[in-house]
């Protein structure tokens, strides 16, 4: 891969982080990538506790039958979860964060998710793995974009790398609540997509749906999509940043791995 050489995987030894680890291992099979596993604590731990956590990590790796040839390291850090993850990511030069999530069936007002907070705060690609993900086989990726011009086209390089890694098709969709038709912005976005995604770009659909979240998930289900990708606008460089509401909803409710490209 050109852009992904080091992956940071926050773990807490639960079934949720097991899914994230299995996903990370699929990247390892395709290329020479270093994995960094991060366990965070609210307060600093002493040397004995550190030994205990290192032992638990070794058992965790052995239980999941991680190949001994895989290059990885185990990190322990203390502090608030999301800021600590982002600090470690920055200091260790990770190119991608893979994090598991339990998801939610509750309304967004009632839900607090560390994964959602991470996705909204991170100024880097994050791959969210919903609990229950068993087989990480990526053949079809759906990139959901809006009616606005793609803010930072270079960010698509990460998506291209993932598509190359798994030899996956990229299907692009723009959910159009008003069926406004094909615009000059759409045409410009099309040229950008064709340039950056090369031969992995399959086609662009414009489903009409007033509920954008529903339109995206209906497409994912109906087209048997293996991974959903989005370009969050809450860190927009050229336009007005959004509040990230759609990103939050997709992160909470996705049933397939979600790649947020930032």
> pLDDT, tens digit, for every residue of 39-77?
999 999 999 999 999 999 888 888 777 766 778 889 999
- State the pLDDT at residue 18: 81
Instruction: Kindly report the average pLDDT of the chain as a whole number.
Output: 85
Helical packing angle, 15-30 and 156-166, nearest 10°: 80
Span 159-205, pLDDT tens digits: 999 999 899 999 999 987 776 666 788 889 899 999 999 999 998 99
Give φ, ψ of 227 to 5 degrees: -145, 135
Q: Which residue has the higher pLDDT, 112 or 162?
A: 162
Q: Is the pLDDT of residue 234 over 60?
A: no
- The pLDDT value recorded for residue 20 is 85
Indicate if the pLDDT at residue 120 is higher than 70.
yes
User: Is the pLDDT higher at 259 or at 183?
Assistant: 259
Residues 6+ away with beta carbon under 8 Å from 261? 125, 155, 156, 158, 159, 229, 230, 231, 232
pLDDT at 37 over 90: yes
Please name the residues in contact with 14: beta carbons below 8 A apart, sequence gap of 6 or more.
100
Architecture of domain 6-130: 3-Layer(aba) Sandwich (3.40)
Contact between residue 197 and residue 186 where contact means Cβ atoms under 8 Å apart: no
Task: Check if 6-130 and 140-260 are the same fold.
Answer: yes
Distance in angstroms (rounded) separating the CA atoms of residues 254 and 214: 11
Q: Does 3.40.50.620 match the CATH number of domain 140-260? A: yes
pLDDT of residue 201: 95
Cα 28 from Cα 24, distance rounded (Å): 7
The most confident of 13-17, 130-134, 154-158, 217-221, by mean pLDDT? 217-221
Alpha-carbon gap, residue 18 to 162, rounded angstroms: 21
| Better pLDDT: 187 or 241 | 187
Q: Do residues 200 and 227 make contact, with C-beta atoms less than 8 angstroms apart?
A: no
Q: How confident is the model at residue 33 (pLDDT cuts 50, 70, 90)?
A: confident
pLDDT of residue 103: 57
Confidence of residue 84 (pLDDT cuts 50, 70, 90): very high
Domain-wise residue ranges, the chain = 6-130, 140-260
Considering only CA atoms, which of 90, 91, 86 is closest in space to residue 40?
86
Average of pLDDT values for 218-226? Answer: 95
Which helix (H) or strand (E) segment holds residue 28: the answer is helix 15-30
């Amino acid at each position: 891969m050109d852009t992904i050489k080091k992956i940071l995987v926050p773990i807490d030894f639960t079934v949720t982080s097991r899914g994230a680890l299995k996903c990370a291992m699929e990247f390892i099979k395709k290329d020479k990538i270093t994995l960094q596993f991060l366990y965070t604590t609210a307060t600093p731990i002493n040397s004995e506790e550190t030994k205990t956590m290192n032992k638990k990590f070794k058992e965790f790796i052995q239980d999941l039958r991680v190949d001994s040839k895989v290059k990885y390291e185990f990190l322990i850090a203390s502090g608030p979860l999301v800021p600590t993850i982002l600090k470690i990511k920055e200091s260790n030069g990770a190119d991608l964060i893979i994090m598991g999530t339990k998801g939610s069936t509750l309304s967004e007002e009632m839900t607090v998710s560390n994964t959602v907070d991470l996705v909204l705060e991170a100024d880097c690609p994050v791959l969210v793995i919903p609990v229950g993900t068993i087989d990480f086989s990526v053949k079809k990726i759906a990139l959901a974009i809006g009616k606005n011009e793609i803010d930072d086209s270079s960010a698509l390089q990460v998506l291209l790398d993932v598509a190359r890694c798994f030899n996956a098709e990229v299907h692009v969709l723009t959910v159009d609540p008003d069926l406004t038709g094909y615009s000059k912005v759409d045409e410009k976005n099309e040229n950008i997509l064709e340039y950056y995604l090369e031969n992995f770009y399959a086609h662009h659909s414009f489903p009409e749906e007033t509920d954008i979240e529903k339109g995206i998930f209906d497409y994912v289900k109906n087209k048997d999509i293996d991974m959903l990708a989005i370009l969050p606008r809450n860190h927009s460089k050229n336009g007005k940043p959004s509040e990230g509401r759609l990103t939050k909803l997709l992160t909470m409710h996705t049933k397939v791995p979600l790649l947020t490209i930032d």
